[in-house]
Amino acid sequence: MPDFTPPPPWAAAFEMGGFRLLDVNELPMSLASADTSELAEEELEQVSYWRPSTVGELTFNWWD
C-alpha cells in the first residue's frame, strides 16, 4: 500500500471546481466501511473481481 501525502496547495483549484479531495486519513479506510452506493453496476463488478481492500486501492485502481 502506498504512503499518501496531503494535497499540494494548488489542489484547492479542484475544490473550487466542485470536487472534494480525499484526506490522507480517508484513503487507507477499509472499503467495507465506505459508502459505495453511488458506484455503477460495472464499477461494483470490478470491485467484486479485484477486491480492493481500501478506499485508496479503489480510487487509484491499485490492481492495474
**Which sequence spans correspond to the domains of the chain?**
29-64
5 DSSP 8-state letter: -
d(CA 38, CA 31): 14
Beta bridge partners of 30: 54
Q: In tens digits, what is the pLDDT along the chain, a chain of 64 residues?
A: 568 899 899 999 999 999 989 989 999 999 999 999 999 999 999 999 999 999 999 998 877 6
Residues 54/27, Cβ–Cβ less than 8 Å: yes
What's phi and psi for 43, nearest 5 deg? -70, -40
Instruction: Please tell me whether residue 46 adopts helix, strand or coil conformation.
Output: helix
